[in-house]
Amino acid sequence: MRKCGAYMDKQEINKLLQRYVTGECTADEKRLIEAWYKLRSENSTADISGLDIAAAQEQIWANLQQTPVREISYKWRIAAAIIILICTGYLLYALLNGTRTSWKEVYAGQHKPYHLTLPDGSDIWLNAGSRLRYPAQFKDNERRIMLLTGEARVHAAEDPQHPFIIIAGGLQTRVLGTVFNVRSYNELPFVQVTVQEGKVAVSRDNYEDKTNVLLLPNERATLYTDKFNIVKDTVDAAAISGWTTDQLLFNNERLDMIAILLAHKYDVRISFADSTLPSYKVTAGFAATDTIKEVLEALSLANNLTYRIQGNNIMFNKQ
């Protein structure tokens, strides 16, 4: 037993709290704490959302230090109950009333690109058939969005204190303020990021190795789903973003990428009779008013291809 006039230390108070939580406190301690809790819960209307738990504990401890054990044997039990109530109440409040990130999802239908402005003022164009997820308000120290499928041209608003991050496929693109294009179609075996203005850092998402690949204007990063390394090359960034003005501009572009864009613009299904055709590189340009048949004729003539149309289904083959 502690002698009269001795003081309870913080470690002993913490042990009492632990005993109550684990059910190891005495019957008297338990009855006292629960009686106080019941009285408090029936009569208190205090808003606990702004309480600083650590500060409350320090304040209680400071008061307890001033009184000998014999005089505060009752008070320190009440203090334990107060701390437990604060902690429990705060957790309940956070669960029931805490701020939750409200997410929005937007889908760009077939045929036409879709434009939207994010809460921070960032400008987004979604290509036809694309889907984007973003928070109703950016609340943390970063601005994070997700391209679920498709293609997006992003003009990220400048904000050095809150980096802009877009997750697409297996890539994470981090910027402070720039213009870039992201492609992440579920039907394709790769993800691409192309910079039009400024500079971005690209890395693999959800991997311990966060080695960044830096991209400058007219540079593109490509990550294939079956490979680990990110490949960088030089491209015409303006041509890649031509779809935002309803143009189809292809400069040494993969045929499967072109097929996806045509499928969403003209609402058709495109397949290949030969397994080597998807990786064919094609250079071509088409106006917004060109029909699907005019586009197919030009592609086939310039690239030694043939095609067959059956309803909404189109199949490319070699000549």
Mean pLDDT of 194-204: 93
Q: What is the CATH number of the domain that holds 308?
A: 3.55.50.30
Task: Mark 50-70 as b/e (b = at least 16 C-beta within 10 Å).
Answer: eeeeeebbeebbeebeeeebe
Domain stops at, among 236, 266, 281: 236
For residues 141 and 229, membership in a common domain is answered with yes
For residues 173 and 197, membership in a common domain is answered with yes
Classify residue 1: in a domain, yes or no.
no
Lowest mean pLDDT among 20-34, 117-131, 234-248: 20-34
For residues 25 and 92, membership in a common domain is answered with yes
For residues 174 and 55, membership in a common domain is answered with no
Is the pLDDT at 194 greater than 50, yes or no? yes
Task: Mark 126-153 as b/e (b = at least 16 C-beta within 10 Å).
Answer: bbbbbbbebbeebeeeebbbbbbbbbbb
Domain stops at, among 68, 97, 126: 97
The per-residue pLDDT for range 203-224, each reduced to its tens digit, is: 988 766 667 899 999 999 999 8
Classify residue 3: in a domain, yes or no.
no
pLDDT band at 30 (very low <50, low <70, confident <90, very high): low
Domain stops at, among 72, 97, 122: 97
Q: Where are the beta strands (DSSP E) in 198-267?
A: 200-204, 213-215, 219-224, 231-234, 248-254
For residues 258 and 286, membership in a common domain is answered with yes
Q: Give residue 127's pLDDT.
A: 93
Classify residue 241: in a domain, yes or no.
no
Greater confidence (202 vs 20) lies with 202
Greater confidence (296 vs 41) lies with 296
For residues 229 and 132, membership in a common domain is answered with yes
For residues 127 and 219, membership in a common domain is answered with yes
Looking at the chain, the whole-number percentage of residues with pLDDT higher than 90 is 41
H/E stretch holding 28: helix 27-43
For residues 209 and 139, membership in a common domain is answered with yes
Classify residue 126: in a domain, yes or no.
yes
For tokens 């809460």, the residue is 119
Classify residue 5: in a domain, yes or no.
no
Q: Give residue 51's pLDDT.
A: 38
For residues 253 and 231, membership in a common domain is answered with no
Q: What is the CATH number of the domain that holds 198?
A: 2.60.120.1440
Looking at the chain, the whole-number percentage of residues with pLDDT higher than 70 is 67
Is the pLDDT at 8 greater than 90, yes or no? no
For residues 256 and 224, membership in a common domain is answered with no
For residues 123 and 224, membership in a common domain is answered with yes
Angle of CA points 131, 135, 138, to nearest 5°: 140
Cα dihedral 184, 189, 193, 196, rounded to 10, equals -90
Number of domains in the chain: 3
Classify residue 4: in a domain, yes or no.
no
Domain with 122, as residue range(s), is 103-236
Q: How far apart are CA 205 and CA 68, in angstroms?
A: 57
Q: At what angle do helices 292-303 and 255-266 cross, to 10 degrees?
A: 170
Is the pLDDT at 56 greater than 50, yes or no? no
For residues 186 and 278, membership in a common domain is answered with no
